[in-house]
A and B are shown apart, each in its own frame.
Chain A
Amino acid sequence: MVENRRWLTVLTHAILLMGVLVLAFPIWVAFVASTHQLQTLLQPPMPLLPGGHFFENYYKALTEGARAVGAPVWLMMANSLVMALGITFGKIVISMLAAFAIVYFRFRFRIFFFWMIFITLMLPVEVRILPTYKVVSDLGMLDNYFGLTIPLIASATATFLFRQFFMTVPDELSEAARVDGAGPMRFFKDILFPMSRTNIAALFVILFIYGWNQYLWPLLITTDESMYTMLIGINRMLAVGDDQAEWHIIMATTMLAMLPPVAVVVLMQKLFVQGMTETEK
């Protein structure tokens, strides 16, 4: 700070704290609601401090779920986890291989393939809902893990990132590998892959959040309750029509749905920031 006035410093901290509190307020209310009985929540105003039903509510959510949905939340969590990890690993693997081919080989249609991958950036699910649904349904991929992951694993961003990184790897390394008689896959496995670890970790953080937070796609292709992800489960718990929504269970499920991605961001902040700034370049 250029001016060093005491009141200004205090004011700055006060504003920042206000910002933090305003941003955290919705989550705090959700947490508090997840620790009270439904009866308490139905008589506004609800309390602002946690109640004594934390274990009861979370236990009920995890093992039984809400009345409106036949699946327990632990199953939805497992589905979300499979989907998030499937998308993350799938994207990393196929993008790394494609980038390796594009950087380290000269072959016909190389640039054409690169453009094709680039085009996926401009075709989010939102712009091709019906025809993509039809393809997936024709392939028998509705209501299973293949359908939840494979259609989402093409990634221009990850391919670009790996390509950019491979370009910075000194030519001497591949030259040396060639002189020593190591084949391309050996070079990939023993040199390129270990060197890419930080990039992979940063991508992992970003892609895990992306995968865990998918909503439209699972909404389209899952109808079987045992295949619901967390976010779809919450949506179904809210759709009770004239019945009373079970807010205490819904809020406990919401807290559980936020936990993995928020934990990833907070615990791996450095990688998260690196991933964010790199994937947006």
Chain B
Amino acid sequence: MVRTKELDFPELAGLFQRMTGDEKHTWAAASTLHVLWVLYDRVLNVSPERVDDPDRDRFLLSKGHGPMAFYAVLVAKGFLEPEVLDTWTEFGSPLGQHPDRVLVPGVEISSGSLGHGLALGVGIALGLRAMGRARPRVVVLVGDGELDEGSNHEAIALAGRLGLGQLTVAVIDNGSATHGWPGGIAERFAVEGWQTATVDGRDDEALHRAFITEHAGRPLAVVAAIRQETT
């Protein structure tokens, strides 16, 4: 399953096209693209050889809708063969419109219904803590619209109070929440005791700096702001 040569960022376009048949460049508009790339290329301590290593980092795609960028990055990093992309959403394919951890190696959670990944991430962080595994990070990707689900706010408050320093949330903020978040999304996390950073969601360097910010004893929220007009 594992290839020796990893693919680079520009090659994601071709991988996208294998799923969507898209001849244009709408792949680049995928709001999660840069966050996923920076995480898998420079931040997460994961590899196809270590999908069951208890000390691996965990990436949880809570916002399971629109997983093409996720699948493309998994292919680029050797978790999946590119050929499997051609079967996307077919019966019998491991790849659907929402990812299933039972079907795809390297996919940590099955998602699709919004508002589940954060509590699962809190549970994983608590499990790692209970086992004395202080090194692995747990990174959960959510969308700003997804934060409408109240279940997130149960988990945000709990993670802050428990000081889960191993937990990081990446919030893709493309302004899709119907009623918005007055005062900004980061403030929702800050008042619960999280360390926060708000950066340009297409600026790889800024995202990288945000993800490696020291945040000992507190969970970290990185709000990746996506301005649609810059696509």
State whether these chains interact: no
Chain B residues with CB under 8 Å of chain A are: none
Chain A residues with CB under 8 Å of chain B are: none
